[in-house]
Each structure stands twice: as structure tokens, then as C-alpha cells.
């Protein structure tokens, strides 16, 4: 899955003859990020291994907009 693409909403089957429920993976990841204290990490250091240049520029803009860089 490309880094810049929103994670999908998946249908989760329950029982026969019942419609599936949906699982919004992006909303789940956002919730885990907020609850997991990942916002306390030092986002000023470069990643190891580094992101490809285009993704690194994109991530830097997101971090800048969030006040992390």
C-alpha cells in the first residue's frame, strides 16, 4: 500500500445472511496513534532506513504542518 494513500475500509463478514460490518483501517490507525503516545516521539530525526526522496519530502511537509519539525 502506498504510504500517501489512505488505508481502506474493509467489509468484515459476520454470520451467514447478515450484511458485513465495515472496519475503517485508517480511523483505527489514527486512534491507535493517539492512544499509543506516538505523538511523543522525536520526529526531528531522520528515519533509518530513510524514506525515498519523494516520500521524505511529503512526510516533512506533514510534520511541518503538525508542528513536529
pLDDT at residue 1 is higher than 80 = no
Q: How many Å apart are CA 18 and CA 37, to the nearest integer?
A: 37
pLDDT at residue 59 is higher than 80 = yes
Q: How confident is residue 38, by pLDDT bands cut at 50, 70 and 90?
A: confident
pTM check: above 0.75: no
The residue behind cell 503538525 is: 66
23's enclosing H/E stretch is strand 21-24
Amino acid at each position: 500500500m502506498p504510504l500517501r494513500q489512505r488505508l481502506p475500509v474493509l467489509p468484515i463478514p459476520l454470520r451467514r445472511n447478515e450484511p458485513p460490518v465495515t472496519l475503517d483501517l485508517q480511523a483505527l490507525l489514527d486512534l491507535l496513534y493517539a492512544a499509543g503516545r506516538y505523538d511523543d516521539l522525536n520526529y526531528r530525526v531522520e528515519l533509518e532506513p530513510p524514506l525515498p526522496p519523494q516520500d521524505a519530502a511529503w512526510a516533512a511537509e506533514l510534520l511541518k504542518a503538525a508542528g513536529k519539525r
